Structure 1
Amino acid sequence: MMLSRIAESLFWIGRYIERADGTARILDVYLQLLLEDVAVDEDTACRALLGVMGHEAPPQRRLTRSDVVNFLAIDRTQTASIAYSVNAARENARRARETISTELWEVLNATFAGMPRRVNNEQVHAMFGWVRERMALASGMADATSSRDDAWSFFTLGRYIERADMVARLLATRALTEASGPSWTTILRSVGAYEAYLRTYRGVPSSANAAEFLLLDRLFPRSILFSVRGAEQCLEDIEPRRERVGYVGAAERMLGQIRAELEFRPIQEIIDELPMVMDKVQTTTTAVSNAVRERYFPTHNLPAWTREAS
């Protein structure tokens, strides 16, 4: 087993890369909706979005798109922001510098240097696109330059846990205001799933089919089920099972439980209770992350989501 401090840094590099990407996708979709739909109350929508992203909204004044961009994108002191995630990924890469490739380090370092400290409304969409491209480049560099050993497993485990959480948050934004929320087509496009969905279902997105695809598709890499199964495989690679019956690790048990609930529950029941189910997915990813930390790196703690123990 590799050193726990290195393993933890790699785990959080994966999580922060995925977190920056997922946050950019969610903000892009939701802020574009505020521009296009004049019927949506900006203050209510902004507060709901901040809540979904784990940020407590200030109660004393009306909130605008600019406030959301500041809190969740460019403010480097806010733990839920893109800028914070980019900085945290770079800091963890610095701690694991002897393990990661020079190419990955250079991508994260350049992204940190290029992250804007202020952005006007006309530049917001372009900034989110830039963040997605940079995080895709970082993931691609890791994929192309990493041996498939424990280091890779911890990095990928972090990505899968975070991706399941972020897709759950994105689906929760749909549930916030069902009538005026982002359409299923918009949500599918935001995670790069629209073309894959059309090839699978061959029709205009319906709530049942789109939700089923993003929740349960076994082949699409951004579905929650794909991420949960991937996280299970990473844990198996890190510490192969030796017992003949059951699971010893808490993380494996929790992932298996949420996977079984998603796989064997009728999709219409999940859609009818989407906010509650997505909240359960987020709670599970938090608990799994804590279980991984306690099992593999008990003496090190890094900044995490507001809902996670730090």
Structure 2
Amino acid sequence: MRSTGPLAAAAAITLAVTLAGCSSSGNGELTYDDSPLNKYLSSAYGGDLSPEEQQKQFDEQQRKQEDLMAQCMADEGFEYQPNVQSGQFIVSDEEETPWKPDDKEWVEKYGYGMVNSPYNEQMPTDQGEEYVDPNQDYVESLSESEQIAYWETAYGPSPTEEELNEDGSYEYSWEDAGCQGWAQHELQGDDPWQSDEFADLRAKMDDFWMSGQEAPEYKELNAEWAACMDEGGQPGYTVQSEPAQSISDEQNEIYNAAYGDGSVEIDPETVVDPATSPEMKALGEKEIALALVDLSCREKTSYTQESLKIQFAREEQFIADNKAALEAFKAAAEQKK
């Protein structure tokens, strides 16, 4: 099934807020819950609701959106059965998370969780009812050209090469997203974050996040961490995010060596699964060794706590510098809830 493409900037902010709300601490240490900017963004996008309230809101919006989409498709001459098969998507703070990158026993087993992921072990044994697209039989009854028209009507045409950014993303517009885009806009209206009124705030926010690691305080903290990594036998890193990224890059190289870069068609059945290759096994061992030294250095430098202190201080300054715009955005977003 086709995808409507990467989310816009507002969705990225929503995701950051959602992740922030998943952390908690009972020992007095800072967590992402303490983010000064979070109080603006979470209230604007519903992050201040309980998990149960968020789930109920999501399910109701999904039902209304699917009904509108069916109406739109019918107006365009296609059949469409509302697809309201929605699983639980909100994770409660009380639920046990398999992601524990600051726990030594976890790191000894998973490293950064790339080559070996704890989520692979959490696959439920009882999958329940198999997902069935209520529109599958109808779509398969259409000719090839009719199917193309169906998908474009439902979700809009795929972006052209000229519309794609270097990272594969593109500027989303509901007008180009077919009946789904129309239904979302009809239900939710214009996203205030994307309005011209907050263009300057968007630009400042983008610059704020992109320039974060350039702050002198971060450079000092990373220098202290890097010195520890050198002493631990893992030299050559300057920023704490680099070790994990290096493992990800090597993992991609192994997959690309097996499947190619996409420029040449390859029969997957003729390729030995790179996930089980000796190269991947060796990378998994390398990942764990690297992650253990990284964890030790993060602990010695109190990296997480110090980085949060730096981040929150920067956020406080950002709020002070953009108080009026943030309050205006919060008010506009809350009116749409």
Task: Work out whether the TM-score is over 0.5.
Answer: no
TM-score by length of structure 1 reads: 0.30
Higher Rg of the two aligned structures? 2
TM-score by length of structure 2 reads: 0.28
Question: Per residue, is there more helix in 1 or in 2?
Answer: 1
